[in-house]
């Protein structure tokens, strides 16, 4: 049924389809900081009620626990097995593909591309067990590395840490990869979206435009810690929304650049589907996403790597990433002529 050009979903759909939509809606609202606003509102509201002591206790806890996202986080294993994540996975669906076995006696940086609009595959693959990470990579413990701002809100910080996520800071990655304190054993994985917020502005359907040429911090950390570097690419991540292409020098691009520079967020102009319709809203389209984990690049630990050593490993990583893309695009893409564009 269409009304004013909007195509509405049938009234009678299988329950599992409705639950899949609700699961993804939960994450979309999470990504759009809805729960951050709720967390801050509750914190302030309770201060003016007889339950003010709850906010005060949490404020003390927050102060004491402030550095936890930078020191290994606080994973709660059962949160990674919630049924909601399986419905989330099946909405698209999302699949995690292993190409080689990984040694649990090593630490790893999973360098993931592309960022996409809302990092759907990174969340489900590396912050939950829905795509069978534990059975695919036995002995490895993944930590999704996400923006520091996710750990400022009273509710958001606890939720992301429960899922094993940690802050995107040099000291955070080094804490995990050098096996300090809470991360004493080997087999630690930092799952890092290399392109960041800027790359989300380049997430056009059918394209793979990566912000990578000047991103060398993760390379230096790999060398300094001896962590093995693993190229990871998600086919379909950029296809879940219709993204409006922004012209160079336009007013919209100026706003995007401002948001990236001062707020560290991307502001892509997107069009998706709705909860009850197929062609208007903020929900992603049901497009398959396949995340391919490549073979690790051996890294020899160097306490103080030179720029030449960093650049050499960076070039090797780009070469392996392109190779991984080319070897798998014929399997997972309908456009066999697609190219990986690196900026």
Predicted confidence (pLDDT) per residue in 207-240, tens digit: 999 999 999 999 999 999 999 999 999 999 999 9
Residues 106/187, Cβ–Cβ less than 8 Å = yes
Domain membership flag for residue 9: no
Domain membership flag for residue 182: yes
Domain membership flag for residue 5: no
Domain membership flag for residue 202: yes
Selection from 264, 170, 175 nearest residue 218 by Cα:
170
Query: Which range, of 119-133, 142-156, 316-330, averages the lowest pLDDT?
Result: 142-156
Average pLDDT over residues 102-128: 96
The model's confidence at residue 4, banded by pLDDT at 50, 70 and 90, is low
Average pLDDT over residues 43-64: 93
Q: For position 184, what pLDDT does the model report?
A: 57
Average pLDDT over residues 244-254: 78
Partners of residue 270 on adjacent β-strands:
243
Q: Pick 169 or 248 by higher pLDDT.
A: 169
Tokens in use for 8?
């509405």
Domain membership flag for residue 8: no
Is pLDDT of 8 > 90? no
CA atoms 187, 190, 34, 236: torsion sign: negative
Residue-number span of the structural domain to which 306 is assigned: 15-342
Tokens in use for 312?
């050499």
Domain count, the chain: 1
Say how far apart CA 194 and CA 239 lie, in whole Å. Answer: 19
Q: For position 183, what pLDDT does the model report?
A: 47
pLDDT digits (tens, 9 = 90+) for 309-323: 999 999 999 999 999
Selection from 98, 155, 156 nearest residue 125 by Cα:
98
Q: For position 181, what pLDDT does the model report?
A: 58
Residues 177/227, Cβ–Cβ less than 8 Å = yes
- The answer, as to whether pTM is greater than 0.85, is yes
Is pLDDT of 306 > 70? yes
> Distance between terminal CA atoms of the chain?
43
């Amino acid at each position: 049924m269409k009304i004013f050009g909007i195509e509405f979903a049938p009234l009678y759909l299988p329950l599992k389809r409705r639950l899949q939509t609700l699961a993804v809606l939960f994450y979309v609202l999470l990504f759009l900081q809805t729960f951050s606003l709720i967390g801050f509102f509750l914190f302030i509201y309770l201060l003016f009620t007889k339950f003010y002591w709850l906010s005060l206790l949490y404020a003390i806890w927050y102060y004491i626990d402030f550095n936890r996202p930078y020191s290994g986080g606080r994973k709660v294993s059962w949160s990674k097995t919630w049924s909601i994540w399986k419905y989330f996975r099946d909405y698209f669906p999302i699949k995690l593909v292993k190409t080689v076995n990984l040694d649990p006696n090593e630490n790893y940086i999973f360098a993931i591309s592309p960022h996409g609009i809302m990092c759907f595959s990174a969340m489900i693959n590396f912050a939950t067990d829905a795509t069978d990470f534990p059975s695919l990579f036995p002995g490895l413990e993944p930590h999704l590395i996400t923006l520091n701002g996710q750990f400022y809100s009273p509710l958001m910080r606890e939720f992301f840490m429960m899922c094993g996520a940690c802050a995107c800071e040099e000291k955070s990655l080094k804490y995990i990869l050098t096996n300090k304190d809470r991360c004493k054993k080997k087999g630690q994985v930092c799952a890092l979206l290399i392109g960041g917020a800027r790359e989300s502005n380049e997430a056009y359907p059918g394209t793979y435009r990566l912000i990578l040429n000047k991103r060398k911090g993760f390379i230096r950390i790999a060398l300094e810690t001896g962590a093995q570097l693993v190229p990871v690419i998600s086919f379909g991540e950029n296809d879940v929304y219709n993204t409006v292409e922004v012209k160079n020098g336009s007013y919209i691009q100026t706003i995007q650049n401002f948001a990236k520079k001062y707020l560290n967020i991307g502001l892509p102009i997107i069009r998706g589907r709705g909860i009850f319709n197929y062609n208007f809203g903020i929900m992603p389209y049901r497009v398959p996403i396949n995340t391919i984990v490549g073979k690790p690049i051996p890294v020899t630990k160097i306490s103080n790597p030179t720029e030449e050593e960093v650049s050499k490993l960076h070039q090797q990583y780009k070469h392996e990433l392109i190779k991984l893309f080319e070897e798998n695009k014929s399997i997972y893409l309908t456009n066999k002529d697609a190219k990986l564009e690196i900026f």
